Amino acid sequence: MTSTRPSTPSPTLHEPREPRVSEARETFSSRFGGLMTIVGVSIGLGHVWRFPYMVGKFGGAAFVLFYTFVSVVIGIPALMAEFALGRYSRRGPVGAFERGGFPFGKYVGWFFFFVVTAATGYYSAVIGWVLYYTVGQVAALAHIPFDAAAILPPDHGFVLRSFVLQMICTAIVLVACALVVLEGVRKGIELVSIIILPAMTVVTILVMIRALTLPGAMAGVHWYLLEFRFRDLTANVMAAAIGHAIFALSLGGTFMVVYGSYLHADEPLARPAIWTVIGDTGSSLIAGLAVIPAVFAFGLQPASGPGLIFETLPKEFAAMPAGWLFGALFFISLSGAGYLSDIGAVEVLVAGLTDNTRLTRTRAVWIMTAACFILAIPPSINNAVFVPWDLTFGSGMQTLGSLLAVLTVGWCLHRGAALKELFGAGEEPVPMWVYHWIRFGIPIVILGVGVYWLLTEVFRTFAGV
CB distance 170 to 158 below 8 Å: no
CB distance 102 to 412 below 8 Å: yes
pLDDT at 329: 85
**What letter represents residue 125's amino acid?**
A
* DSSP H or E segment with residue 33: helix 31-42
The 10 Å Cβ neighbour count of residue 4 is 11
How many helices, marked H, and strands, marked E, lie in the chain?
23, 2
Q: How confident is the prediction along the chain (465 residues), in pLDDT tens digits per residue?
A: 444 444 434 344 444 444 344 346 788 888 888 888 888 888 877 777 788 888 988 989 999 999 999 999 999 999 999 999 999 999 999 899 999 999 999 999 999 999 999 999 999 999 999 999 999 888 877 788 899 999 999 989 999 999 999 999 999 999 999 999 999 999 999 999 999 989 888 888 988 998 899 999 999 999 999 999 888 999 989 988 998 899 889 999 999 999 999 999 888 899 999 999 999 999 999 989 988 998 898 887 787 666 677 877 787 787 777 887 888 888 888 888 899 999 999 999 999 999 999 999 999 999 999 999 999 999 999 989 998 888 788 778 888 999 999 999 999 999 999 999 998 766 566 688 999 999 999 999 999 888 887 777 656 644 554
The β-bridge partners of 4 are: 430
CATH number of the structural domain spanning residue 373: 1.10.4160
Looking at the 3D structure of the chain, how many domains does it have? 1
Name the residue among 375, 429, 298, 451 with its Cα closest to residue 4: 429
* DSSP H or E segment with residue 98: helix 93-99
Between the CA of residue 460 and those of 30, 108, 452, 457, 463, what are the distances in Å? 49, 29, 11, 5, 5
CB distance 122 to 138 below 8 Å: no
| Residue 451 resides in a domain | yes
CB distance 405 to 115 below 8 Å: no
pLDDT at 7: 43
Between the CA of residue 141 and those of 74, 132, 151, 253, what are the distances in Å? 44, 15, 20, 43
Give Rg (Cα) of the chain. 22
Burial 434-443 (b: 16+ CB within 10 A, else e): bbebbbebbb
| Residue 457 resides in a domain | yes
Residue 205 burial by Cβ neighbours in a 10 Å radius (0-12, 13-18, 19+): middle
Name the residue among 213, 324, 214, 248 with its Cα closest to residue 55: 248
The DSSP string of 191-259 is HHHHHHHHHHHHHHHHHHHHHHTSTTHHHHHIIIII---GGG--HHHHHHHHHHHHHHTT-SSSHHHHH
The 10 Å Cβ neighbour count of residue 384 is 14
**What letter represents residue 68's amino acid?**
T
Range of the domain at 160: 32-426+440-463
* DSSP H or E segment with residue 166: helix 160-181
| Residue 328 resides in a domain | yes
Whole-angstrom distance, CA of residue 123 vs CA of residue 340: 12
3-state secondary structure of 430: strand
| Residue 153 resides in a domain | yes
Q: How far apart are the first and last CA of the chain?
A: 48
Quote the DSSP letter at residue 43. Answer: S
| Residue 10 resides in a domain | no
3-state secondary structure of 314: helix
3-state secondary structure of 431: strand
The DSSP string of 64-92 is HHHHHHHIIIIIHHHHHHHHHHHHHHTS-
What are the backbone dihedrals phi and psi of residue 294, each rounded to the nearest 5 degrees, phi first? -65, -35
pLDDT at 80: 96
| Residue 431 resides in a domain | no
**What letter represents residue 367's amino acid?**
I
| Residue 74 resides in a domain | yes
pLDDT at 248: 87
Rounded to 10°, the helix 76-89/397-407 angle is 70
pLDDT at 24: 61
Residues whose CB is less than 8 angstroms from the CB of residue 301 and which lie 6 or more positions away in sequence, other chains included:
56, 295, 312
Residues whose CB is less than 8 angstroms from the CB of residue 279 and which lie 6 or more positions away in sequence, other chains included:
35, 39, 42, 43
The 10 Å Cβ neighbour count of residue 148 is 21
Alpha helices in 320-441 (DSSP H): 323-356, 361-375, 383-390, 397-407, 415-423, 432-436
**What letter represents residue 211's amino acid?**
A
Sign (positive or negative) of CA dihedral 188, 189, 190, 196: positive
| Residue 236 resides in a domain | yes
| Cβ contacts of 361-369, under 8 Å, gap ≥ 24 | 361/182, 361/184, 362/182, 365/178, 365/181, 365/182, 366/178, 368/117, 369/174, 369/175, 369/177, 369/178
The 10 Å Cβ neighbour count of residue 195 is 13
The β-bridge partners of 3 are: 431
The structure's pTM equals 0.88
Rounded to an integer, what is the distance from CA 334 to the centroid of its chain? 13
